[in-house]
């Protein structure tokens, strides 16, 4: 009994010491709060194949609300004063702050919902935010915001602005662990003004953060892509992967495709706030910059390709007022994409400022034509038909087809409107002079299935394996026609031999040409050469040439096709363009007809093509150029020539002045 009493007495004495003698000390400890907060990591850089920067980072000012210092939710009136003062400061200097709430003040002076924000409006009314009925009006939402954030004494305009900030703070779970970004990329002058008044702007800090910087915003925007704020949907999908609501993410292009590599690893700091308001911070882990993406693109060649394409399309004879097109160039023995350009194009550095205009442009400057557009390939398909005919023994080197301009098949007549040096066409002259009659006869002898077999071997109608989104295309067949509710007619065997009914991407066409050039090996196309850590100490990916398939086509058949392509470049329409080059070129042009809606009317237009490779004897590079609305595919040969001259030059940069002179010449 005495032992129990002694233990009890000890507990009483300890309790007295804690609650009375050391009360102040333990009270202070109880008032200490600590939270971890992120230290944002810089995104990885993107370089060209020679190490030249394409996308890097620059330092800029963000205005951040830090919960440890910012007035708490219990001090809403103080919050409102600081927020409105900041807004007025920004607007007086013409600088932007983040204003994302789906509410506007309409022309009638009343709250209204902006168009195309249905998902955001639904989120605003949700239980987690305003907790309103789904049928709540814009006025209902505004009234709820005014009540929640004590905005009764402000004008409607000011109340909406303050509410926008407070609402976004709520959406982003504003706390020590989740600081709120009020504005991004703020001028140094404005940042200095905020620092000077730090006593008033309690909890408002200027944070130096990384922003994307483009060496040239017009260079390969469809390939590089851009970053943007994480959407609510993206956050829900990625929050378990460590993304915060205020993070940025790759939206398209390589920025999106390589997101897991480009995204850095955020660091962590411990923020401790004492009962007297004193705040201390301690770095727990440092931020690590994202990895470096080294692309296959050659910045100099990309610039030449873009400028030459724009010049060619804007000056060629066209059946439409705004011609469009693309160009893609690859290494034939590796599948590396050296240049890929779409026209019309845009400046990635001003994408967000100009988005509404770009999105509304009927000429689709945001569309990645080399990978996503599919076209009937016209006479460029004849290369595959010639190979199929030779390999299957349906024609030989000496086979001759007589062309009088009309080919009879069953009860139909098909035209050949090409000029010929002779009416008796063999496979070489038929490729050089693009004789439809010769290939109609090949199509009759082969049939669609055998032609498609060789097209598949050459990669047509199949994805190239490139890292970005790409279309698959269409191989014409009875099965395909049935899938779109059409009947297969015997005449399609003839028409498909000159390209009709098939739909292929320019990326497929250039790889098809490259496969012929290298002797029958089809490589995976790719934009990423390697991925290294930011300090180059580690290599995560080294993209060596990846073989997707070998055609098994004999060298004799390939050499005959190459001979026909060379005859076109050396003796036929290509001669004026390539005769002065110190190496032999192979090329094949094509034209197909399609319909395009212009001013609400369906208009027939031509799409024009060229596929080419060089040098003839030891091929290195293949090119495909496409023009929408052109009248002569020969006009595209200037862009092919410009690319070859740049690629086979000494490797020194081509100046803008040189390029302009070359194109004028």
Dihedral sign, Cα of residue 167, residue 173, residue 175, residue 178: negative
pLDDT in tens, 204-243: 999 888 899 999 999 999 999 999 988 878 888 998 888 8
- Predicted local confidence at residue 281, as pLDDT: 75
How confident is the model over 388-407, as a mean pLDDT? 95
Q: Read off the pLDDT band of 16 (50, 70, 90).
A: very low
**Is residue 180 scored above 70 in pLDDT?**
yes
| Residue 32 pLDDT grade (very low, low, confident, very high; cuts 50, 70, 90) | low
Cα radius of gyration rounded to whole Å, the chain:
33
Output the pLDDT for position 656.
38
pLDDT, tens only, 545-583: 999 999 999 999 999 999 999 999 999 999 999 999 999
State if pTM tops 0.95.
Answer: no
- 276-306 tens-digit pLDDT: 667 677 888 898 999 999 999 999 999 999 9
Model confidence at 3, in pLDDT bands (50, 70, 90)? low
Closest to 570 in 3D by CA, of 538, 606, 617: 617
Please choose, from the candidates 490, 505, 387, the residue with its C-alpha nearest in 3D space to the C-alpha of residue 448.
490
Q: Tokens at residue 135, please?
A: 């049928």
Residue boundaries of the structural domains of the chain: 299-349+368-664
Residues 495-554: pLDDT tens digits?
999 999 999 999 999 999 999 999 999 999 999 999 999 999 999 999 999 999 999 999
C-alpha–C-alpha distance, residues 614 and 619, integer Å: 5
Q: What is the pLDDT of residue 411?
A: 84
pLDDT at 268: 86
The answer on pLDDT for 18 being more than 50 is no
CA separation for the pair 664, 662 (Å, rounded):
5
Q: What is the CATH number of domain 299-349+368-664?
A: 3.40.710.10
Please tell me the predicted confidence (pLDDT) of residue 418. 84
The 10s digit of each residue's pLDDT in 126-160 is 999 999 999 999 999 999 999 999 999 999 999 99
Instruction: Convert 9-39 to b/e letters by CB count within 10 Å (16 or more is b).
Output: eeeeeeeeeeeeeeeeeeeeeeeeeeeebbe
- Separation CA 24–CA 197 (nearest Å): 35
Residue 92 is encoded by which pair of tokens?
Answer: 């007086």
Q: What is the mean pLDDT of residues 459-470?
A: 97
């Amino acid at each position: 009994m005495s032992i129990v009493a002694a233990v009890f007495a000890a507990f009483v004495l300890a309790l007295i010491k804690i609650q009375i003698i050391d009360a102040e000390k333990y009270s202070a400890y109880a008032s200490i709060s600590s939270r971890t907060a992120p230290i944002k990591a810089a995104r990885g850089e993107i370089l060209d194949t020679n190490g030249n920067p394409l996308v890097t980072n620059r330092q800029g000012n963000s205005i951040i609300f830090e919960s440890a210092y910012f007035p708490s939710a219990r001090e809403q009136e103080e919050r409102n004063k600081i927020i409105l003062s900041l807004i007025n400061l920004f607007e007086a200097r013409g600088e932007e702050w983040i204003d994302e709430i789906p509410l506007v003040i309409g022309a009638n002076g009343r709250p209204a919902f902006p168009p195309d924000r249905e998902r955001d409006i639904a989120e605003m009314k949700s239980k987690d935010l305003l907790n309103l009925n789904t049928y709540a009006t814009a006025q209902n939402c505004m009234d709820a915001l005014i009540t929640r954030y004590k905005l009764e004494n402000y004008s409607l305009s000011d109340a909406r602005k303050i509410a926008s900030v407070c609402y976004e703070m709520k959406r982003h779970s504003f706390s020590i662990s989740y600081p709120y970004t009020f504005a991004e990329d703020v001028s140094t002058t404005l940042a200095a003004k905020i620092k000077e008044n730090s006593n008033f702007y309690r909890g408002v800090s200027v944070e130096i953060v990384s922003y994307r910087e483009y060496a040239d915003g017009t260079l390969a925007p469809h390939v590089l892509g851009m970053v943007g704020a994480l959407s609510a949907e993206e956050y829900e999908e990625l929050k378990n992967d460590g993304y915060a609501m205020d993070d940025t993410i790759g939206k398209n292009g390589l920025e999106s495709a390589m997101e897991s590599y480009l995204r850095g690893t955020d660091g962590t700091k411990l923020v401790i706030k004492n009962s007297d308001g004193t705040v201390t911070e301690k770095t727990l882990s440092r931020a690590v910059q994202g990895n470096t993406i080294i692309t296959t693109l050659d910045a100099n060649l990309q610039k030449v390709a873009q400028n030459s394409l724009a010049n060619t399309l804007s000056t060629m004879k066209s059946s439409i007022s705004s011609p469009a097109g693309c160009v893609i160039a690859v290494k034939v023995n590796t599948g590396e994409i050296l240049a890929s350009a779409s026209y019309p194009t845009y400046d990635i550095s001003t994408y967000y400022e100009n988005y509404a205009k770009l999105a509304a442009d009927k000429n689709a400057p945001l569309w990645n034509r080399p990978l996503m557009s599919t076209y009937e390939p016209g006479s460029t398909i004849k290369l595959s038909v010639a190979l199929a005919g030779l390999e299957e023994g349906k024609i030989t080197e000496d086979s001759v087809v007589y062309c009088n301009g009309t080919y009879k098949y069953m009860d139909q007549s098909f035209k050949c409107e090409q000029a010929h040096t002779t009416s008796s066409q063999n496979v070489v002259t038929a490729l050089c002079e693009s004789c439809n009659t010769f290939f109609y006869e090949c199509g009759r002898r082969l049939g669609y299935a055998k032609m498609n077999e060789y097209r598949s071997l050459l990669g047509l109608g199949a994805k190239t394996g490139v890292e970005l989104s790409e279309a698959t295309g269409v191989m014409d067949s009875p099965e395909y026609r049935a899938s779109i509710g059409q009947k297969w007619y015997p005449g399609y065997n003839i028409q498909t031999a000159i390209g009709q009914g098939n739909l292929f991407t320019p990326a497929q066409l250039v790889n098809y040409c490259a496969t012929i050039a290298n002797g029958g090996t089809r490589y995976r196309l790719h934009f990423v050469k390697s991925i290294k850590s930011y300090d180059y100490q580690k290599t995560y990916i080294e993209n060596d040439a990846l073989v997707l398939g070998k055609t098994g086509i004999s060298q004799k058949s390939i050499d005959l096709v190459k001979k026909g392509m060379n005859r076109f470049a050396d003796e036929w329409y290509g001669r004026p363009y390539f005769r002065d080059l110190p190496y032999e070129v192979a090329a094949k042009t094509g034209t197909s007809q399609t319909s395009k809606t212009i001013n609400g009317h369906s208009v027939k237009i031509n799409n024009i093509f060229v596929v080419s490779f060089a040098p003839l004897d030891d091929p290195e590079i293949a090119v495909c150029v496409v023009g929408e609305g052109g009248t002569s595919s020969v006009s595209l040969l200037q862009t092919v020539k410009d690319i070859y001259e740049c690629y086979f030059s000494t490797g020194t940069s081509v100046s803008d002045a040189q390029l302009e002179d070359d194109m004028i010449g």
